[in-house]
Amino acid sequence: MLGQECCPGLLTAPLDEEQATELSKVFKALADPVRLRLLSMIASRAGGEVCVCDLTPAFDLAQPTISHHLKHLRQAGLIDCERRGTWVYYWLLPEMTDRLAGILTRPAGQPLAQTAQKPAGAAS
Amino acid sequence: MLGQECCPGLLTAPLDEEQATELSKVFKALADPVRLRLLSMIASRAGGEVCVCDLTPAFDLAQPTISHHLKHLRQAGLIDCERRGTWVYYWLLPEMTDRLAGILTRPAGQPLAQTAQKPAGAAS
DNA sequence: TCGTTGTATTGATGCCTGTCGATTCAAGCT
DNA sequence: AGCTTGAATCGACAGGCATCAATACAACGA
């Protein structure tokens, strides 16, 4: 899934339909404020893991809603979890965020546009 | 908008509600296969710009639908456009993709999790 | 000025998704 | 066993969104 080849790029070559569909699933997981906050809370945790019981009270949302969002992030391959006794702990899977960062990074020195200014007119 | 400070990080510190809401809007723009393909077609274009008339026939979608997606990408700050005679040309705004790449990049040498393996159990 | 071509906007429709209450499941304790 | 706590699943509902047909707008040419 999602680019067997290292990093096709997104900015270097047109995505085919299948690549775009796979990639859009991951971005969909990031396309929600609650999930972004959950992800950042998990990723920035010192020990590398967070108990759900520490995440839930940070939101004005019902517990099933948080659980639903965590499932979404997990299915996108961004986090994983493990039950330990009564509690469940989540941690980041940096492979996926690394891959996304790579996909959004343009190759250095390759001026795809002229530094984001509007290109020189071609239809003079 | 979206991180006045250079790059808060997402992976280094918990996002507050406002940051998360802003950031989610950009990811929402990327959370669609058609928009991802449009963006990659625009970004990978040699001259740095693409005419809409070159984009539309690449999809099995009605012309207003493509126009709608382009508007979405533009409102997210990912692309911009200009009318030149009869045609409209789009190009990438690399600032935004650069910013996203930075947000998804973890600081080197900072082991947020233990290399993505499940962390050592704390409840032994 | 009128028709033609390229693009954007509008309004409507059906699906997707975020949210909740209720319930279920898992694990530990008495 | 029975109770309690933490977390996931289920079913339902409302709002959001991708899509289209129809229309409007912009620029060019005859």
What CATH number is associated with residue B65?
Answer: 1.10.10.10
CB-hemisphere CA count at 13 Å for B10? 30
pLDDT per residue over B65-108, tens digit each? 999 999 999 999 999 999 999 999 999 999 999 999 999 998 76
| A28 in contact with nucleic chain C (CB within 7 A) | yes
Which residue's alpha carbon is at the shortest distance from the C1' of D20? B62
Instruction: Read off the amino acid at residue B107.
Output: P
Contacts for A53-56 with beta carbons within 8 Å, 24 or more apart?
Answer: A53/A87, A55/A90
Rounded distance between C-alpha atoms, residue A58 and residue A61, angstroms = 9
pLDDT per residue over A76-117, tens digit each? 999 999 999 999 999 999 999 999 999 999 876 555 444 444
In this structure, what token pair is assigned to residue B73? Answer: 């990408």
Number of domains present in the structure of chain B: 1
Q: How many CB atoms lie within 10 A of CB A54?
A: 15
Rounded distance between C-alpha atoms, residue A19 and residue B101, angstroms = 19
Residue B4 lies in a domain: no
3-class secondary structure, B35: helix
Residue A67 lies in a domain: yes
What is the domain extent for residue B83? 32-94
**pTM for this predicted structure:** 0.88
Nucleotides on chain C that have an atom closer than 7 A to a protein CB are 5-11, 17-22, 26-28
